[in-house]
Structure 1
Amino acid sequence: MNVIQELEKEQIEKLTAGKNMPDFAPGDTVRISVKVVEGTRERIQAYEGVCIARKNDGLNSSFTVRKISYGEGVERVFQLYSPNLDEIEVVRRGDVRRAKLYYLRGRQGKRARIAERTDGYAAKIVAGERETAVAEKEAAKAAAKNGADASAETPAETPVDGPVEETVEEATGEE
């Protein structure tokens, strides 16, 4: 690797640390959480649409997302490693045979639909997410068990004011 590629790799690692950056491809429906600054306030704005293009160019990687808003097509280009991107979430996987879906610009309604991918790729990603969720659940269970063991070793004494008496009133049946 040359020096420039090494520097770009370091920057990419720095920018992606602690961020949710899933793998996605053109045809996938994605929800992007973008940091928006309005005056002195900063808020997160969600932008959901179909990824119609990806440009993989190291630190300059970008992707284009298209959505229909009030009957008008809106496209937005995002830099993949921008600090203004808070999170990228894949809503559904699309099954397409092109890398650039610019032909969707001329289509409306049902003609602009994209079939959902049901092959092993999507199942593999879901299985990976399931495995991480199971691992997290087991870790939480182990932590709770360790906490329960610690509390079992030092039982908490519950003070009792006196003997507990139960009173039962019998109904007298006078007719």
Structure 2
Amino acid sequence: MDKKTIEFNKNLRSNKKIDFKAGDVVEVYLKIKEGGKERVQIFKGLVLAVKGKQSSSPTLTVRKVSHEVGVEMIIPILSKNVEKIKLIKQAKVRRAKLYYIRELTTKQSRMKYKEIKEFIKEEDTQKNTEEKQNDTEKIEEKEEGKK
């Protein structure tokens, strides 16, 4: 490829990591413009496939069942309309693509999930350590005041 296309692809790429795989349950926060207003819509579903992890335009195929009707969305991960993608659960699956789930009933498509705790940002951990230090200092001051 010529330098222009390589440079263009580098500029498109962001620092978002693609830590999703087939079998994960995710919440996708999509920005939607209606008239003059903008709102965020949440689409929660099962990841059937992740395509193009190494390319400049990776996509997720997410499926959910709403009122007994299957709804699928192909979501470009690096799109400006995707505010964030939150991982809810991870399932133990043995396939990279779960397209066979389309033919299964809701009851048949149940999987064994392991719950994911909220992801703690580094800032939160730093705040917690600072709070613990402040608490220990206060306790030490109280003990010195009693003596």
For the superposition of Structure 1 and Structure 2, which TM-score range results when normalised by the shorter chain? 0.7 to 0.9
Q: 1:48 offset after TM fit, Å? A: 0.1
Equivalent positions of 1:42-57 (< 5 A) are 42-56=38-52, 57=54
CA distance in 2, matches of 1:33, 1:131: 19
2:28 to 19, 27, 32: 32
CA distance in 2, matches of 1:110, 1:135: 43
In the alignment, is the contact (CA less than 8 A) between 1:22 and 1:88 conserved in 2? Answer: no
Q: Which stretches in structure 1 are left out of the alignment for 5+ residues?
A: 149-175
CA distance in 1, matches of 2:31, 2:20: 21
Once superposed, which parts of structure 1, at least 4 consecutive aligned residues long, lie more than 4 Å away?
A: none
Q: Secondary structure at the match of 1:136?
A: helix
- The CA deviation string for residues 129-149 of structure 1, in whole angstroms up to 9 with x for no partner, is 45834333224x38x95xx9x
Higher strand share: 2
| Aligned residue pair count | 133
Higher helix share: 1
AA in 1 matched with 2:108: R
In the alignment, is the contact (CA less than 8 A) between 2:92 and 2:111 conserved in 1? Answer: yes
CA RMSD of aligned residues (A): 3.0
- Higher radius of gyration, 1 or 2: 1
Percent identity of equivalent pairs: 30
TM-score of the pair, normalised by structure 2: 0.76
AA in 1 matched with 2:13: I
AA in 1 matched with 2:101: L
AA in 1 matched with 2:94: R
TM-score of the pair, normalised by structure 1: 0.65
Partner of 2:10: 9
Partner of 1:65: 62
